[in-house]
Amino acid sequence: MKEEEATMEHRSSSSLSSRALSRSFLGLSLGLGFLVAVAAVIVNFYYKRPAQTSLWTAEELTAYNGTDERLPILLGILGSVFDVSKGRSHYGPGGGYHHFAGRDASRAFVSGNFTGDGLTDSLLGLTSTEVNSIVDWRKFYHERYIFVGKLAGRYYDDQGNPTKYLKGAEAKAKRGAQLLEKQKIEEAKIPSCNSRWSDQDGGKVELFTNDVHGFSCVVYYYLSSKICIHD
């Protein structure tokens, strides 16, 4: 009997202590949750993270060029703005892509001209395949980085609607893509030459022009800037 009471006592006290434990655990996790929330608000305020998507002006964008480490790094391309902070080593000061930070330098993605007026969002005079290449870059940023809004100006109006310029650029890019596709088909039509690679001679190609397409083979290899020797 006494033993039974003792175990009952033990049981109830243990269930009591486990209840107390779970209460204090609840209190602790609530407290922790609160602390995390406060910390998140502080971090958010301190870093001034831009709203997930918004409409930017070119002037606002310049502050996000990577020089102030508390700010995210933003980049514009065809008027789409991306947070590229996770690529700080590339887009921050000293990085190879730093020129693109804090601005829309769409043209420089294909011109490679990072000096003065070369850093512009104007596509004037670019070919359709070049414009297509810039559209491909925009796709790259959509896939790899965070889209944070649109840049009001050449590509989007003050309401965030696409401008005629953007629609024109996208139509031109489409033509560029079609052209590339056509070129690929043409290249595939060029007959495979009776060629042989010889690695020990530094990638020399030996081409035997013993078929009717011999000439186009030679021209093709010449254009591909491959060394070609034929008998």
Find all residues with CB under 8 Å of 113, minimum gap 6, and list them: 107, 119
Contact 64, 101 (CB under 8 A): yes
125 binds ligand NAG (CB under 6 A): no
CB of 190: closest distance to ligand NAG in angstroms?
A: 33
- Please tell me the count of residues contacting ligand NAG according to CB under 6 A: 12
CB of 50: closest distance to ligand NAG in angstroms? Answer: 13
Query: How wide is the angle at C-alpha 114 spanned by C-alphas 66 and 183, nearest 5°?
Result: 115
Position 62 contacts ligand NAG (CB under 6 A)? yes
Q: Which stretch binds ligand NAG (CB under 6 A): 114-122, 157-165, 182-190, 217-225?
A: 114-122
Shortest distance, position 67 Cβ to ligand NAG, whole Å = 4
Among the listed residues 63, 171, 219, 229, the single contact to ligand NAG using CB under 6 A: 63
Contact flag: residue 115 with ligand NAG (CB under 6 A): yes
Is the Cβ of residue 95 or residue 214 nearer to ligand NAG in the bound state?
95
113 or 209, CB closer to ligand NAG?
113
The Cα–Cα gap between 176 and 35 comes to: 54
User: Which of these segments, 59-67, 72-80, 139-147, 170-178, binds ligand NAG (CB under 6 A)?
Assistant: 59-67
Asked if 117 touches ligand NAG (CB under 6 A), the answer is: yes
Task: Indicate which single residue of 118, 168, 191, 203 sits in contact with ligand NAG (rule: CB under 6 A).
Answer: 118
Name the residue nearer to ligand NAG (CB basis): 65 or 221: 65
Kindly compute the dihedral angle of the four CA atoms of residues 119, 109, 181, 226, in this order, to the nearest 10 degrees: 120
Pairing of strands 54-56, 146-151: parallel
Q: Does 68 bind ligand NAG (CB under 6 A)?
A: yes
Give me the DSSP letters along 79-95: TEEEE-GGGHHHHSTTS
Compute CA distances 177 → 61, 129, 155, whole Å.
30, 6, 20
The rounded distance, in Å, linking the Cα atoms of 62 and 224 is: 42
Q: Residue 228: how many CA atoms within 13 Å on its side-chain side? A: 20
Q: Which of residues 94-113 bind ligand NAG (CB under 6 A)?
A: 102, 113
Q: Which residues are CB-neighbours of 73 under 8 A, at least 6 positions away?
A: 64, 65, 66, 83, 84, 85, 87, 88, 91, 92, 101, 102
Residues within the interface to ligand NAG (CB under 6 A): 62-63, 65, 67-68, 71, 102, 113, 115-118
